[in-house]
Chain A
């Protein structure tokens, strides 16, 4: 069954992540891409966690991926599905699977990006996913 959706606290941008959240307002999910080693990372940050270089560009992800793991917090009101989603670009990110049957989730399911609005009127949306 599909239940009512939870509300999302607004993330607070900082100088390190402002560009990411500005892009989110434009409906774009960005991942960090290192111009030194070529590896991508998530969450985005000012230093490459793989090689230590500071030459990072944010690149737009396709928004497609698959569920790496998930859990439904039954004790929450309303219950909701937290998940790690592995993007087709490589990095795995924490998110929620929304607008889904909470009893029919499984690892490996294909998902696609759908941003969710957050509590503060001027707060950026957060990247959530629906089944693809």
Chain B
């Protein structure tokens, strides 16, 4: 059994706010949901499946379902950090394929800026009942220094350089200049990235994503529903998910769970990396992109540095246009979780609705990939491949 062709992405919405002092968390979820429903040409009464993750307040999905007044027959609150929403697309397709629902809503929202959260540089304590906390939290693991250790090891094993990593930010900034909602619209150079302040060796400030409030939503429907709507048909043709962790102390920071989720998705979609016209790649940091590109098979392991250099990720000139909205690195990283916006920009590309200056010509096959949790400790990887019909 496969989900290939069993579900379509009928609606997407990226909340335009980047600082939401005037809105509640539930309100951001609901506004995102309504935006995606409007985009699809559906109403909230059409929704019969709901998907959310750890950013949802209250008890799993229940508080938000209550707030939005949804009547449902399928729920899924699988939490794998920022990759959750990419994973949810696959889970929604599964539920639809099994006849459990026909219009699935996925939402994300968060207010880390409004709440003054020290997102990247303060250790997060997930509670002493998490078995790893006593052995990690005392040592000050933060988002940035954990990804930094991945970059450090990658440099050691493969000779990857800070200049090569910088090209990833440069490409994202080239795209963000056309996005009026992007937080960082200025085009930056390799020199500017490597000369920005060191946050956690070897990652500089401009190797890091933005911190933004906001949210987004995705509507996944059955083929029958999708074909009654007036939107371009974006078909889900492959999905893969996998966790990766410390393997009992056999720590290997050089690769991500994409080595498993990617091949699963490609196999189900019956396509290969060289077929992909556009890729949304999770970009919490530049190193995140580089490792995932290698692990998804866009280039040989260890050659990511050469692959991303010289503008190869820039739409119009590069071989693999990526994150044409500016991505998390320049545009938006709502709730410190970038997976949902990865799917949104891939759908825009497949519909031909990306900004004209970054729209990939004849974009009929796209991939969205998310990483959630930390590449430095334990994370979820999720890959989705979509096709314009």
Chain A interface (Cβ within 8 Å of chain B)? 6, 8-14, 16-17, 21, 31, 39-43, 45, 48-50, 68-76, 80, 82-84, 86, 90-96, 107-108, 118, 126, 128
Which listed residue (B134, B136, B139, B250) contacts A13, Cβ 8 A?
B134
Residues of A within 8 A of B198 (CB): 74
* Listed A/B pairs (17) with beta-carbon separation below 8 Å: A9-B137, A11-B133, A39-B248, A42-B248, A42-B249, A49-B247, A50-B248, A69-B149, A72-B200, A74-B200, A75-B199, A76-B121, A82-B140, A90-B249, A91-B250, A107-B153, A128-B139
Q: A74-B200, A91-B249 are in contact. Are A84 and B137 (CB under 8 A)?
A: no
Among B22-30, B46-54, B69-77, B124-132, the stretch that binds chain A is B124-132
Residues of A within 8 A of B156 (CB): 69, 107-108
In the complex, A80 Cα to B146 Cα: how many Å? Answer: 13
Q: A14-B129, A73-B200, A107-B152 are in contact. Are A92 and B250 (CB under 8 A)?
A: yes
In the complex, A73 Cα to B143 Cα: how many Å? Answer: 11
In the complex, A94 Cα to B37 Cα: how many Å? Answer: 45
Q: Is the CB of A82 within 8 A of B145?
A: yes
Q: A41-B249, A42-B248, A71-B200 are in contact. Are A76 and B149 (CB under 8 A)?
A: no
Residues of B within 8 A of A126 (CB): 138-139
In the complex, A8 Cα to B358 Cα: how many Å? Answer: 48
Residues of A within 8 A of B279 (CB): none
Residues of B within 8 A of A73 (CB): 121, 140, 142, 144-145, 199-200
Which listed residue (B131, B139, B152, B153) contacts A94, Cβ 8 A?
B139
Closest 10 CB pairs of A and B: A91-B249, A49-B248, A11-B134, A71-B148, A41-B248, A43-B135, A42-B249, A92-B251, A69-B149, A12-B128
Q: How close is A101's CB to chain B, nearest CB, in angstroms? A: 13
Q: How close is B195's CB to chain A, nearest CB, in angstroms? A: 14
Closest chain A residue to B156, Cβ basis: A107
Count residues on chain B whose CB falls below 8 Å from chain A CBs: 39
Q: Is the CB of A12 within 8 A of B134?
A: yes
Q: Is the CB of B149 within 8 A of A71?
A: yes
In the complex, A86 Cα to B15 Cα: how many Å? Answer: 44
Q: Is the CB of A82 within 8 A of B129?
A: no
Q: Is the CB of B121 within 8 A of A75?
A: yes
Interface status of B150 (Cβ within 8 A of chain A): yes
In the complex, A107 Cα to B253 Cα: how many Å? Answer: 13
Which listed residue (B139, B145, B199) contacts A95, Cβ 8 A?
B139
Interface status of B115 (Cβ within 8 A of chain A): no
Residues of A within 8 A of B246 (CB): 92
Closest chain B residue to A6, Cβ basis: B140
Q: A14-B129, A74-B198 are in contact. Are A82 and B141 (CB under 8 A)?
A: yes
Q: How close is B94's CB to chain A, nearest CB, in angstroms? A: 28
In the complex, A40 Cα to B341 Cα: how many Å? Answer: 41
Q: Is the CB of A17 within 8 A of B134?
A: yes
Q: How close is B27's CB to chain A, nearest CB, in angstroms? A: 32
Which listed residue (A6, A69, A80) contacts B152, Cβ 8 A?
A69
Taken residue by residue from 101 to 136, chain B's Cβ proximity to chain A (1 for < 8 Å, 0 otherwise) reads as 000000000000000000001000000110111111
Q: A69-B253, A94-B139 are in contact. Are A43 and B131 (CB under 8 A)?
A: yes
User: Which chain B residues numbered 292 to 317 have a C-beta less than 8 Å away from chain A?
Assistant: none
In the complex, A16 Cα to B131 Cα: how many Å? Answer: 9
Interface status of B201 (Cβ within 8 A of chain A): yes
Interface status of B197 (Cβ within 8 A of chain A): yes
In the complex, A94 Cα to B201 Cα: how many Å? Answer: 16
Residues of B within 8 A of A68 (CB): 153, 251, 253
Residues of B within 8 A of A83 (CB): 149
In the complex, A75 Cα to B123 Cα: how many Å? Answer: 12
